[in-house]
Chains A and B, each alone.
Chain A
Amino acid sequence: MRGYRPGPVALFVALLVAVFLLMPLLAVVPVSFTPSRMLSMPTGALSLRHYRTLIEDPRWLDSILFSLRVGIFSSTLATLFALAFSLGIWMFRPRFAAVLVGFVLLPMIVPPVVSAITLYFLLTTLSGLGSAVGYDTWPGVVLAHTVVIVPFAVVLILVSLAQVDRRIDLAARGLGASTWERATKIIIPNIKFGIATAWLLSFVLSWEEIGITLFITSVNAITLPRLMWMGLRDNIDPAIAAISVILILITVTVLTVRIVYRWARGLA
């Protein structure tokens, strides 16, 4: 019944909500072009100084490289863990599967601040043992990020496994394929897009993570969000507006490509 469309009142209220959703994203654009050293509003003069700061101040570049390294390591780890676990659940349907899945999803459900204090406990304990994986180190950040992003990777891989036709696997098994062959030659090729999506989502989550990172880093391990946080808390540094505009542009571009692609395919 496609005839049941939103009326003018609903459309008007939805428009207000849409403006509310997009407004803060648009607001950073004029701020990023102001010439002033402090957060200020555009007065007519335009300047690229905040964009220049991003290139000239090594702290920004360092934190971007740091975030990239952490993101690549932690999303790869999380995807591998999640892939093995999900294959185990799908291929063997173990007893208590629901309990096992529930357990690995915990870091997603537990409030971030509780995960943060838990990981703070872990990393300070490891630091006390003299381990290189400890508080305020990059392997420590990788470890913590892996814990909090792995549930998302598990969900995505389980969802793509649910769409695999079990009869293909049954046929392979009937023809004498070993567990290893079934996994690598039959199942993984069928979910490779799901795996790639899981890696990408994990990377984005790690790249943006701040709630946990704040608890486990102080001066050495500075991710990009951590640096933005420091600029936001202390004195509002307009370079944040410039980096925000760049991050928003990247997101909008990727999403536009994806949405247009999906709609074009769906409507074709």
Chain B
Amino acid sequence: MRSHFIHPGAALLLAPLLAFLGLAYGIPFLGVVKWSFTLPELGLGQYGTLLTDPLVQSVFVRTFRICALVTLASVTAAYVIAYVWVRGTTGQRLAAEYCILVPFWISVLTRAFGWVALLSNQGLINTWLRAIGILDEPLMLVRNEFGVIVGMAHFLIPFAVFPIASAMRNLDERVLLAARGMGGGRARIFWSVFVPMTMPGIIGAALIVFVFALGFFVTPSILGGGRSVMVAELVYLRIFQSPDWGLGAAISITLVVIVGLLSTALYRYLRPAQMVG
């Protein structure tokens, strides 16, 4: 079958999707690249704005800060729940699986709304805290960075669980036995054997979460309430509110470059097979 450069049957099967994505995705992407260099006038002006405009820069800085905090929170939480999912008793594993999969399958909007219902000024948490008498004034829990970080971490924990759990499952049991045989206590085994040996899973999860978080749009705009705009929302605002398509396009292209670099790092670091399992 390898004698043809491209077998006619193969061409017939491969062509529809390649042609579809080429026409519906590849060429329009080049159109967006063109926008970034031509709107409103030909040149590198929009990229210059990206590098000099304090507003755009503050949005990038905020995005990186939020993404870093979200990554830290999600990976930590995911590690703990993955640990119980992989190493727990049957009942614990079932419960952990449930807690991971149920939110995973529920839409981003429903989840964002759930956080609004919990965190807003008239939300459940503020209502309870005032009913008990702990608070007089409602705590500002949402429509700020705190709300954004909580909502995004909630969305991204399941995505961090899968690579971590996979690394935990691939861990050779005999290593743990050996550690115990040499007199290691449970905390010692956990910190000096278990965590270092699952480090590829941790780093893979961190990169996945960070890359996902960079392009996040829905959760920040609902829970940030327009006060803590992230890069993706800035693109939306440039396209629909201020019509400034050139800047929106230039920001998008910059985002692709950043994500491309991070994905290359991810690919080099982890064998792709580990990601699926």
Contact = CB atoms under 8 A, between A and B. Distances in A.
Chains A and B belong together in one complex: yes
- Which of A6, A7, A84, A259 has most B Cβ within 10 Å? A6
Given A84-B13, A150-B17, A247-B107, A23 B118 contact: yes
Interface stretch (A52-60, A87-95, A189-197): A87-95
Contact of A91 (B13, B84, B89, B124): B13
A28 B114 contact: yes
Q: Is the interface of A mostly helix, strand, loop or mixed?
A: helix
A263 B93 CA distance: 10
Given A6-B92, A13-B80, A118-B28, A24 B259 contact: no
B100 interface: yes
A235 interface: no
Q: Is the interface of B mostly helix, strand, loop or mixed?
A: helix
Interface size class of A (residues with CB under 8 A): 35 or more
Contacts of A164: none
Contact of B259 (A110, A125, A248): A110
B235 A107 contact: no
* Shortest 5 CB-CB contacts between residues of A and residues of B: A111-B215, A24-B114, A88-B13, A92-B10, A113-B232
Interface of A: 1, 4-7, 10-11, 13-14, 17-18, 20-28, 30-31, 39-41, 81-82, 84-85, 87-89, 91-95, 100, 103-104, 106-107, 109-122, 125, 143, 146-147, 150, 154, 159, 179, 204, 207-208, 210-211, 214-215, 225, 228-229, 232-233, 236, 240-241, 244, 247-248, 251-252, 254-255, 259, 263, 267
Interface of B: 1-2, 5-7, 9-10, 12-14, 16-18, 20-21, 24-25, 27-29, 31-32, 35, 77, 80-81, 83-84, 87-90, 92, 94-103, 105-118, 120, 122-124, 127, 154, 157, 173-174, 176-177, 180, 186, 189, 211, 214-215, 217-218, 221-222, 231-232, 235-236, 239, 248-249, 252-253, 255-256, 259, 263, 276
10 contacts: A6-B83, A14-B96, A17-B99, A22-B102, A25-B102, A92-B1, A116-B236, A117-B248, A146-B24, A252-B102
